[in-house]
A and B are shown apart, each in its own frame.
Chain A
Amino acid sequence: MIEKIEEIYSSFKNELNALSKQAEVLNLKAAILGKKGSLSEILKGLKDASPEERQKIGPVSNEIKKSIERDIIDKLKAIEFDEINEKLEKNRTDFSLRDSLRELGLQGGGLHPTHQIQREIEDVFLSMGFEVLDGPHIEDEYHNFEALNIPETHPARDMQDTFWFADKKHLLRTHTSTIQIRGMKERKPPFAFVGPGKVFRSERTDTTHEMAFHQLEGMMVGEKINTGHLIYFMKTLLKAIFKKDMEVRLRPGYFPFVEPGFELDIRWKKPDPKDESARHSGWLELLPCGMVHPNVLKAGGVDPEKYSGFAFGLGLDRLVMVNYAIEDIRLLHRGDLRFNKQFASF
């Protein structure tokens, strides 16, 4: 009897292997395990067997029955899997053609390069406790000149080619230093802020001159703020922008709103040691700065006897231009997306 059972199992295995449809498998299952199935039929004969035989056959037949059931389930799973895969095969999509390979017009997006650098610098200063302020583009003489220690008769007004409105009182701000005055008046020392924004000069435009460009003003006022602190913040700023320690030099520079006033240059190129006439070259004038003039502190409502502070101005477009070696400053305002897309965020 055991032989017969084993024979049934092996022939079942053969038949099962050949099947590929769910119904056929279920039919086969019925043909073996069903009421009139071949295994059931054989097991019916068990009642005539001796107790020893029964004891021997019982576990074997159960084992085989379980194996058959398991094989059936596995087979059904395999068939379903194949069926699904077949469907997937039919619905297969071609993913080779990614958007970046297709002509979909202009893709991606991103900030204007000047604003990217502006935000980077804002974040550096925010992290060091500076607020970020701005002010109006149309200004009056007081905020643009007088409060900044540039009275009407001052020759420095020649240095600033100012756009004037017909009332001769209002103008387009020529520097972000106007933000200093408003910033000081609204605060009590100690305080620190930066002020990025658009400024305007009535200058003939060419590849390096623009009538509208961007500056970032900075100011820190407190009881013991000194020149060494100014250099510290400038070096920190430059490291954040250029991602490395920058060699800087501070030399006298004249700006009416600071005293002492400095020009901060960065080492941009190492000079050729063989070229004697170039031994002090390779510096790039980048940051006018200085200790805030007492008259400016007074205009901002700060007592110059008690407090001191530093201020600096940074040309943002200039920075963008040197950073990316952009040859024409006018590209920044042209809105030509062939330019802007080169600074895409994604």
Chain B
Amino acid sequence: MLISLDWIKDFTEVPNINIHDIANDFTMKTAEVEEVKKLNEHLKVIVVAEIVSLKKHPEADRLNLVTFNYGEKEFKEVVCGAPNLEVGQKVPYAKLGTTLPNGITLEPKKIRGYLSEGMLCSATELGLGEDSKGLLQLGKAAVVGQTMLEHLELNQDYLIDVDNKSLTHRPDLWGMYGIAREFAAIYHKPLKNPFDDKWKEKLEKNFTKDKSPISPKVESDSSCLSFWGLSVDGVQVGPSPKWIQDRLIAVGLRPINNIVDISNYVMMELGLPLHIYDRELIGDNTIHIKRLGQNDVFETLDEIKRDLISTDTVICDSQKPLVLAGIMGGANSGVRDETTKIFIEVANWKPEEVRRTSVRLGLRTDSSARYEKSLDSKMTYRTLLRTLELVKELCPEAYVVGKAEYDGLDLSKIPALQIQTSVQYINRILGTELERKEIVSILESLDFKVENSKNDELQIIVPSYRATKDIEGAHDIVEEIGRIIGYETIPVASPKLEVKPITLTAYKNVERKVQDYFSLHANSYEIMTYPLVGEKLLEKAHWSDLNNELVLVNALSQEADRMRPSLLPSLIEAASVNTKNFESFRFFEWGRTYHPTGDEKFFHEKNMVGVCFYSKEKSTFLELLNSVENFLNYVGINFKFQNFCSSKFKNDYIAEDWNGLHPYEKQEIIIRGKVKGALTTIHPLVCRDFKIKGNLSIALIDLTEFTSAEIKKSQSYTPLPKFPAASFDCTVLVEKNKPVASVFDIQKKLKIKDLESMKVVQVFSLNEEHNAVTIRFVYQDPSKTLEPAIIKGYEDKCVATLADFGYSLKV
């Protein structure tokens, strides 16, 4: 929203301080200023030039070499592509160094071998209109050498561009008068009120005793809140005076004709949109505001056919819709050059309905943007009279037929919003010690009325235009006070609170353990991948669960249109980003996966760790397995690894038939009797689809159950042994096609109560069939020193049991 400082000065005094300070004050007290612009700055340096001679560019048919006089001693020459050139024309010339409204700064440039020093400009290039076909013709009377600012008799206004988002909650600030009120409050200056009762009475004198040609009829089930109509005859359509045009251009609107310009001007000034019809295009002098009742196509005045639905509110004549309520007029009823009889509509509409229709049609207009913010019905009459005032000013011949006609809510019955609060409450929320009189003075400067009441109590009457949505209760009053005193004046202090112990939640505990373990102990980097994935990635990873139940309806792209069912595809993809840069790497992600429940609950989120170890040279599976084992021990989770699908439960993390599973290097993680994860080396075929060469192993661990309840890690102590332990090493033969660790199978049969541990000391390849595996048994009796005979017995038993399992001693 552009604020014209010149326009604001119609209503209040603006202090004579730097414009950037003014913008900053507005930012600090009202709404964010994005930019300050000095209007027409470029027109100060663009001058009137007269074409002296023309010749064709030798290299290009469409270009001319133009020599011109611009009031200096020497003539200049530019290369120009405009079609409408003639010697003697007077046109605008922009010198080198000029910055045009489109942001381009002119620099010396060779065009097909000819140096062009600056340029001759079209209306568009100067920001003065939409004609870009040829140079702007300044007419015979233009004085060569004069600046365009002088030539056009423009004044230099300042524009303050306010971020529209920061005005979302302030419908009253969508017009200059509302902004002027803020200026008045910020700078403690009076706000002029040209729209007082005397003004109203003066304008009402234009009303006649005649029957109004049109009396609007509002259906109460429509989106209309209030509707004023006024018929005026004797209007003459023509260009509006320069002062109106200048102001409209300044705030970014295009002047069209006096009648359309008036409606825009009044909207920009008072913040309430309005619509002016050619009354002769209204069938049977009927204005009927109702829901459309059927789906229909309606051509709006931008000449686009819009699909309306039956519940859209429209303004109709006896046969057809004329205006899409609150959004845009139709192509069939607007003011034309020959219009003499007009009908002025000033209405208010239900904000949510205007918003819904405008969003549905993708049609946002100055009008809809205002209505959807909740405008004040009580302001409609003032807007109608202001429109009439300008019509009379611009077309003195014009006269009202009948009087202002109304239908809609009974405006006198809209109660004023009263808020009961206290000085103490305001100070309590702000942390200030403001006096009652400061508070009252601020509120009054913002047009709130404070009734005389007891010292601390504040009985506040909210101006109707602030009460539509913005101001609801005492907390809103706090904001009004806070922003005007300036938040920088609030004393900063710590609250005085009871001291309570704080512990990490189970979720945070697990999260931190995952992050710490894998980054510090497993030498991995934490990464993040998107929780949103696309079918393409899942299919590339041969992943069969496409999570079709958790697809977004308004995804940005097909690559991110659904929640990920697993971390795996994203992790493989992340690995593929890195294989070309590193010989080996390790990373992990602590992330969620999302699963439909198929019932009311809709979804279920799992907190997963995914770990990826990669090496170009060698398998990383054992390293990963060791890491995961250590991790689970670190967190304090009892678990075991088992071969894939050796239990009756199916693996929810990696399907048994997934193509990415390695035929041998794979394990399931069992926690509390349930499958809670899996590890596998990714099958080379799947790796190939991701252009990964080398060994990539991935682990997935589901920690969801540990994020809601604390893990009790069992930690116990046994006194140190007082008696020596005995150890026994023996070397047995293990067939090469058997896993070395299968020697531990004997533990099930080996019933030795004093067996402290059994560990493999060494493995070496004996011959083609066998590995020689050295095993160490440690025996310990906590109560006494083991006697040699007992030790011998244990040793024999170990050897015998090994033999029973087919592991003979190496001789």
Residues of A near any B CB (own CB < 8 A):
103-112, 114-115, 119, 122, 126, 129-134, 136-138, 152-153, 155-156, 158-159, 162-170, 172, 190, 198, 200, 202-205, 211-212, 220, 222, 224-229, 231-232, 235, 249-254, 256, 259-263, 276-277, 279-280, 291, 293-294, 308, 332-338, 340-341, 344-346
B478 near A138: Cβ-Cβ < 8 Å? no
Q: Which of B306-314, B323-331, B491-499 contacts A (4 or more CB under 8 A)?
A: B491-499
Cα(A336)–Cα(B525), bound, Å = 10
B601 CB, nearest partner CB in chain A, Å: 10
Among candidates B476, B519, B553, B602, residue contacting A164 with C-beta atoms closer than 8 Å: B553
Residues of B near any A CB (own CB < 8 A):
18, 20-21, 23-24, 27-32, 36, 165-166, 168-170, 351-352, 355-356, 359, 372-373, 428-432, 473, 475-476, 478-479, 482-483, 487-488, 490-495, 497-500, 502, 504-505, 507-508, 512, 515, 518-520, 522-532, 550-556, 560, 563, 570, 573-574, 577-578, 581-587, 589, 592, 594, 602-603, 605, 615-616
Q: Which residues of A contact B512 (CB under 8 A)?
A: 119
A-B contact pairs, 29 of them (CB 8 A): A103-B583, A105-B582, A105-B585, A109-B522, A110-B526, A111-B519, A115-B515, A122-B508, A129-B502, A155-B355, A158-B359, A159-B165, A162-B554, A164-B552, A165-B553, A220-B495, A226-B428, A228-B432, A229-B494, A251-B29, A252-B30, A252-B166, A260-B478, A276-B20, A291-B475, A335-B570, A337-B578, A340-B587, A344-B525
5 further A-B contacts with Cβ under 8 Å, apart from A165-B551, A333-B528, are: A105-B583, A106-B586, A153-B356, A227-B490, A276-B18
Known contacts A165-B550, A251-B28: A112-B166 contact under CB 8 Å: no
Q: Which 10 A-B pairs have the closest CB atoms?
A: A105-B584, A228-B431, A335-B574, A153-B352, A226-B431, A260-B479, A250-B487, A106-B585, A105-B583, A335-B527
B475 near A129: Cβ-Cβ < 8 Å? no
**Residue on A nearest B518 in the bound complex, by CB:** A109
Cα(A29)–Cα(B752), bound, Å = 55
Q: Which residues of A contact B526 (CB under 8 A)?
A: 110-112, 115, 340
Known contacts A227-B430, A260-B482, A308-B428: A333-B529 contact under CB 8 Å: yes
B27 near A251: Cβ-Cβ < 8 Å? yes
Cα(A201)–Cα(B482), bound, Å = 32
Q: Which residues of A contact B356 (CB under 8 A)?
A: 153
Cα(A214)–Cα(B469), bound, Å = 31
Among candidates B166, B373, B524, B587, residue contacting A155 with C-beta atoms closer than 8 Å: B373
**Residue on B nearest A235 in the bound complex, by CB:** B492
Cα(A131)–Cα(B478), bound, Å = 29
Q: Which residues of A contact B170 (CB under 8 A)?
A: 254
Among candidates A104, A190, A263, A346, residue contacting B584 with C-beta atoms closer than 8 Å: A104
B479 near A204: Cβ-Cβ < 8 Å? no
Cα(A200)–Cα(B504), bound, Å = 25
Q: Which residues of B contact A131 (CB under 8 A)?
A: 502, 505
B563 near A168: Cβ-Cβ < 8 Å? no
Known contacts A166-B551, A259-B475, A338-B581: A346-B430 contact under CB 8 Å: no
Q: Which residues of A contact B583 (CB under 8 A)?
A: 103-106
B515 near A277: Cβ-Cβ < 8 Å? no
Q: Which residues of A contact B36 (CB under 8 A)?
A: 277
A168 near B430: Cβ-Cβ < 8 Å? no
Cα(A311)–Cα(B589), bound, Å = 30
**Residue on B nearest A130 in the bound complex, by CB:** B502
A190 near B498: Cβ-Cβ < 8 Å? yes
Cα(A108)–Cα(B553), bound, Å = 41
Q: Which residues of B contact A335 (CB under 8 A)?
A: 527-529, 570, 573-574, 577-578, 587, 589
Q: Which residues of A contact B492 (CB under 8 A)?
A: 228, 231-232, 235
Interface centre among A105, A212, A341 (most CB of B within 10 A): A105
Q: Which residues of A contact B487 (CB under 8 A)?
A: 227, 231, 249-251, 262
B327 CB, nearest partner CB in chain A, Å: 15
A302 CB, nearest partner CB in chain B, Å: 14
Q: Which residues of B contact A211 (CB under 8 A)?
A: 530, 532, 556, 560
Cα(A163)–Cα(B372), bound, Å = 23
Q: Which residues of A contact B550 (CB under 8 A)?
A: 138, 165
A67 CB, nearest partner CB in chain B, Å: 44
**Residue on B nearest A259 in the bound complex, by CB:** B475
B133 CB, nearest partner CB in chain A, Å: 34
B519 near A251: Cβ-Cβ < 8 Å? no
Cα(A334)–Cα(B29), bound, Å = 41
B316 CB, nearest partner CB in chain A, Å: 25
Q: Which residues of B contact A249 (CB under 8 A)?
A: 28, 487-488
Among candidates A204, A226, A263, A337, residue contacting B32 with C-beta atoms closer than 8 Å: A263
B603 near A336: Cβ-Cβ < 8 Å? no
Cα(A346)–Cα(B29), bound, Å = 47
Q: Which residues of A contact B553 (CB under 8 A)?
A: 164-166, 168
B505 near A129: Cβ-Cβ < 8 Å? no
**Residue on B nearest A285 in the bound complex, by CB:** B32
Known contacts A103-B583, A260-B475, A333-B529: A138-B605 contact under CB 8 Å: yes
Known contacts A104-B584, A105-B583, A259-B478: A308-B429 contact under CB 8 Å: yes
Among candidates A126, A162, A227, A252, residue contacting B29 with C-beta atoms closer than 8 Å: A252
Cα(A175)–Cα(B498), bound, Å = 30
B502 near A126: Cβ-Cβ < 8 Å? yes
Q: Which residues of A contact B519 (CB under 8 A)?
A: 109-111, 345
Known contacts A227-B487, A277-B20: A129-B525 contact under CB 8 Å: no
Cα(A341)–Cα(B519), bound, Å = 11
Cα(A175)–Cα(B496), bound, Å = 30
Q: Which residues of B contact A334 (CB under 8 A)?
A: 574, 577
Known contacts A129-B502, A229-B495: A170-B430 contact under CB 8 Å: no
A132 near B508: Cβ-Cβ < 8 Å? yes
B373 near A294: Cβ-Cβ < 8 Å? no
**Residue on B nearest A172 in the bound complex, by CB:** B552
**Residue on B nearest A264 in the bound complex, by CB:** B487
A138 near B430: Cβ-Cβ < 8 Å? no
Q: Which residues of A contact B23 (CB under 8 A)?
A: 280
Q: Which residues of B contact A252 (CB under 8 A)?
A: 28-31, 166, 479, 483
A198 CB, nearest partner CB in chain B, Å: 7
A14 CB, nearest partner CB in chain B, Å: 50
A108 near B523: Cβ-Cβ < 8 Å? yes
A167 near B531: Cβ-Cβ < 8 Å? no
B27 near A294: Cβ-Cβ < 8 Å? no
Cα(A205)–Cα(B557), bound, Å = 10
Known contacts A211-B560, A222-B497: A137-B592 contact under CB 8 Å: yes
B520 near A109: Cβ-Cβ < 8 Å? yes
A137 near B594: Cβ-Cβ < 8 Å? yes
Q: Which residues of A contact B524 (CB under 8 A)?
A: 109
Q: Which residues of A contact B527 (CB under 8 A)?
A: 112, 335, 337, 340
B531 near A137: Cβ-Cβ < 8 Å? yes
Cα(A269)–Cα(B628), bound, Å = 47
A280 CB, nearest partner CB in chain B, Å: 4
Cα(A262)–Cα(B482), bound, Å = 10
A291 near B507: Cβ-Cβ < 8 Å? no
Cα(A220)–Cα(B603), bound, Å = 30
Cα(A200)–Cα(B386), bound, Å = 46
B497 near A190: Cβ-Cβ < 8 Å? yes
Q: Which residues of B contact A152 (CB under 8 A)?
A: 352
